[in-house]
Amino acid sequence: MDEIKIREARFDEPAVRRLIAEAMAELSRRYGGTGDDTPVAAADFAPPTGAFFVAHAGEELLGCAGWRAHGPDAELKRMFTVPAARGRGVARRVLTAVEESARERGCKRVILETGDKQPEAIALYVKSGYERIDDFGYYKGEEGVLSFARVL
C-alpha cells in the first residue's frame, strides 16, 4: 500500500466532494436527517481565513478536515476518515495539519463542535488535548452536542 500523505486541497474538488458526501452519509446514519445542516461553503476554507486538507495514499482519499475562521479562532470542520483507513493514524495526522495551518495564520485556538454519537472522534480530541467549552455553533443548545477547544 502507498504511504499516507497529507496535502492541502480545495473543498470543491470533485474527489473531496465525494469524500464529504461519504462523511455526511455516515453522520446521517448516526444522527438521522442530512447528518449535519451546518452551513459550509468552499470559500470558508480559502486562505488566509481557512484551509482544507486530505489524507491520501496514492490517488485514494482516506480522510479530511479543514478549518475556517470563527472570530479569532479556527473552527475545525468536516473531520472524517474512511472506515477502511481507521486505526492507522489518519485522523491524528490531518488534525495536526489543521492545527499547524491555523497557528501559521495567527489563530491561537482551534474550536469544534461534535456529537455524543461519535465516541471515536471525542476520544481523539481529548487525547489530543482538547477540552470541553461552552457550546457555540450551529447546534448550540441541541441535545447531544459537545464543543471542544485546544489552545495552540
List pLDDT tens digits, range 92-126. 999 999 999 999 999 999 999 999 999 999 999 99
Does 73 map to a domain?
yes
Cell of 18: 465525494
Report the alpha-carbon distance of residue 57 to residue 143 in Å, rounded.
Answer: 37
Does 133 map to a domain?
no
Q: How confident is the model at residue 2 (pLDDT cuts 50, 70, 90)?
A: confident
Which of 56, 74, 72 shows the shortest CA–CA distance to 15?
56
pLDDT at 72: 96
Does 129 map to a domain?
no
Q: The pTM is what?
A: 0.95
Which of 69, 33, 44 shows the shortest CA–CA distance to 144?
33
Does 147 map to a domain?
no
Which of 29, 80, 23 shows the shortest CA–CA distance to 53?
80
pLDDT at 92: 97
Does 15 map to a domain?
yes
Q: Check whether 1 has a pLDDT greater than 60.
A: no
Q: How many domains does the chain have?
A: 1
Does 150 map to a domain?
no
Does 41 map to a domain?
yes
Does 10 map to a domain?
yes
Give the percent of the chain with pLDDT over 70.
99
DSSP string, 22-66: HHHHHHHHHHSTTS------GGGG-TTSEEEEEEEETTEEEEEEE
46: left (phi over 0), alpha (psi -120 to 50) or beta: beta
Residue range of the domain that includes 93: 4-112
Find the CATH number of the domain harbouring 39.
3.40.630.30
Tens digit of pLDDT for each residue in 54-90? Answer: 999 999 999 999 999 999 999 999 999 999 999 999 9
